[in-house]
Amino acid sequence: MSAPITVVGSLNMDFVVQVQTLPLPGETVLGGGFATIPGGKGANQAVAAGKLGGRVRMMGRVGDDVFGRQLKDNLAKAGVDTAAVVVTAGAPSGVALIFVQAGGQNQIVVASGANARLAPEDVAPALEQASGGFLLLQLESPMETIEGAASLGRRQGMTVVLDPAPARPISGSLLASVDVLTPNESEAMVLLDRKGTVSLDEAPEVARALLRLGPRAVILKLGEKGVFLDDGTGGRHVPGLQVEAVDATAAGDTFNGALVVALAEKRAMPEALAFANAAAAISVTRLGAQASIPDREEVEAALAR
253 has catalytic annotation: yes
Tell me the C-alpha distance between 48 and 44, whole Å. Answer: 6
Pairwise CA distance, residues 116 & 61, whole Å: 8
Strand order in the sheet with 31-39: 31-39, 12-19, 94-101, 106-111
Calculate the alpha carbon distances from 274 to 51, 255, 270, 278, 292 in Å: 17, 10, 6, 6, 18
Provide DSSP, 96-135: EEEEEETTB-EEEEEE-GGGGG--HHHHHHHHHT--SSEE
Residue 39: name the closest of 226, 254, 185 by CA: 254
- Rounded to 5 degrees, what are φ and ψ at 255? -55, -50
Give the Cα separation of 64 and 123 in Å (integer).
19
Question: Residue 253 burial by CB count (10 A; 0-12/13-18/19+): exposed, middle or buried?
Answer: buried
Dihedral angle computed from the Cα positions of residues 179, 48, 77 and 130, in that order, rounded to the nearest 10 degrees: -10
Whose CA is closest to 3, among 42, 56, 81? Answer: 56
Q: Residue 35: how many CB atoms within 10 A of its CB?
A: 14
**Number of Cβ within a 10 Å radius of residue 14:** 24
> Considering 122, 230, 247, 253, which one is annotated as catalytic?
253
Q: Catalytic positions, please? A: 253
